[in-house]
Chain A
Amino acid sequence: MNDGITPTTLILEASLPVQLVLITLLLLSIISWVMIFQRWLVLSAAAKGVLSFEHRFWSGMDLSQLYKEGSQMQKEDIPVVGMENIFRSGFKEFMRLRQQASVDKEAIMEGAQRAMRVAYSREEEKLEKHLPFLATVASVSVYIGLFGTVIGIMNSFIGLASQAQVTLQVIAPDIAEALIATAMGLFVAIPAVVVYNRYTASVDNITSSYITFTDEFSSILHRQVHSD
């Protein structure tokens, strides 16, 4: 007597194409989960960074003091990121242009804004890194699983063709083997879809707060330029 079929034996005794599909899906799953965890760390850190920097920025601290703190951090090999990076590049450009007497006020504002825009797009790029990969995994892994299933069912029918009497016992193992591929595909795709949607939303949140900050900061700079 056979002692039944378990998922493990199914996987181990599956035909080569199905096994290849399963291995591909497993790799995709591991990679996508690496991305999921890594993005989670990055995005939660960025969200926290937004809050803490806004708190510091609006605490009434002198802006050049804030800038010096950031420089200090950079000297200690701590990378400065997120909103603070936007502030630093805008402020640096503003100060540099302001020291040049020939530059007029509008040019100063324009330079600072351009520097902030560049920093903003760099930050956004950092946040959105790997998200397209997750999107690809989310949509493709289902098809890969389906491919494995189709191959498996095809094999099962080829096997059936040589059978005089068809019973459930003949079809069942092959169908089960085939279905494992679909199950695996879904297992990979579902977290990827959920996480992709969630992370896209939080990236949108963070970037919109960056934009808001950029506008606020440029209005402060504008005030300073025209008050002289």
Chain B
Amino acid sequence: MKDSINNVIIYNGYPLSVVAAVTFHSLLLALLLYLQSNRNTDALELIQPTVVKALLVQENPQVTNERKRVERQQQQQRDRQQEEARRAAEAERQQQAQAQARAEEDRQQRERAALRERQQQDRLNAEQLLREQQQREAEQRRQRELAAAQRLQESRDRELQRQQEAADAAAAAAEVASSEFEMIQSGTALIQQLVQENWSRPPSARNGMQAIIQIRMLPTGELIDATITQSSGDPAFDRSAENAVYRAAPFTELQNLPINVFNANFRSLSLIFEPEDLLN
């Protein structure tokens, strides 16, 4: 009878219900685990953060010095090349002159032969004339050759001198650069460290972002202003970089630098901010 079944259920529904409820929960749990195992491949990467390191790159005095040195070397090389070209041209000119002279001589000899043939009877009086002429020509040639040699010598001297001068200048520049270099390096390291300490990076920072901030300073190390010259695209990031600079200022240790070094390298400085060790 249908009623009897219903009645049984009413009084004995508990075991069935317990089984059903437990099954339901196990199924849900299994579903959860299944979805999770499927999703593992593109799971969110939530990672314990490492300490963030601000990378600070200058419009580096060291780099600019290096660049200047390279430019100087290039200039010297260019000079040398020009010199060589000039020398080559001169040598050619000399050769041409010699060839001309030779050709003239040939012609004169031929003329002389012709003269000898045609004017045998005039030879005696003409000989005098001819000799004189030859003498004159020889004189001229000698003079020309002498002048060319002199020019060559002069140009060589000049080149040597210039090379010497260039070498001296390079040596001096290198010396100055090496002493400057240390000061600049310590100054930049200092600024870098201070800014880094004061930089609290926003959560929106991502690897590959780069903000460049140009700062202007007084010789006392005080900050005049800081402007964003290149935005990272994220305003929060730019702001954090700017704040870091303002917070780090003043860089009082820069007072110890010689004024010329300061002016050359620190009066205006570009700081590049990039979070380099983020994991996403």
Contacts and interface: CB of A to CB of B under 8 A. Distances in A.
Interface string B17-40: 110111011000000110010011
Interface in B109-160: none
Given A6-B36, A6-B43, A34-B21, A165 B51 contact: yes
Which secondary structure dominates chain A's binding surface? helix
A227 interface: no
A186 to B, nearest CB: 14
Contact of B17 (A1, A41, A78, A84): A41
Interface stretch (B2-10, B61-69, B220-228): B2-10
Nearest to B45: A4
A21 to B, nearest CB: 17
A200 interface: no
A48 B44 CA distance: 51
A81 interface: yes
Contact of B4 (A5, A29, A35, A73): A73
Nearest to A45: B6
B184 to A, nearest CB: 29
A26 B24 CA distance: 12
A219 interface: no
B52 interface: yes
A14 to B, nearest CB: 14
A27 B11 CA distance: 24
Contacts of B39: 6
Interface in B174-188: none
Contacts of A126: 10
B7 A4 contact: no
Contacts of A42: 9-10, 13
Contacts of A80: 7
A158 B11 CA distance: 52
B48 A2 contact: yes
A3 B6 CA distance: 53
Contact of A79 (B11, B36, B43, B45): B11
B233 interface: no
B43 A45 contact: no
A222 to B, nearest CB: 28
Give the top 10 A-B pairs by smallest Cβ distance, nearest first.
A4-B43, A33-B21, A37-B17, A38-B17, A45-B6, A41-B13, A34-B21, A37-B20, A169-B49, A38-B13
Interface of A: 1-8, 26, 29-31, 33-38, 41-42, 45-46, 48-49, 52-53, 73, 76, 78-81, 84, 126, 165-170, 172-173, 176
Interface of B: 2-4, 6-11, 13-14, 16-18, 20-22, 24-25, 32-33, 36, 39-40, 43-49, 51-52, 200-201, 203, 279
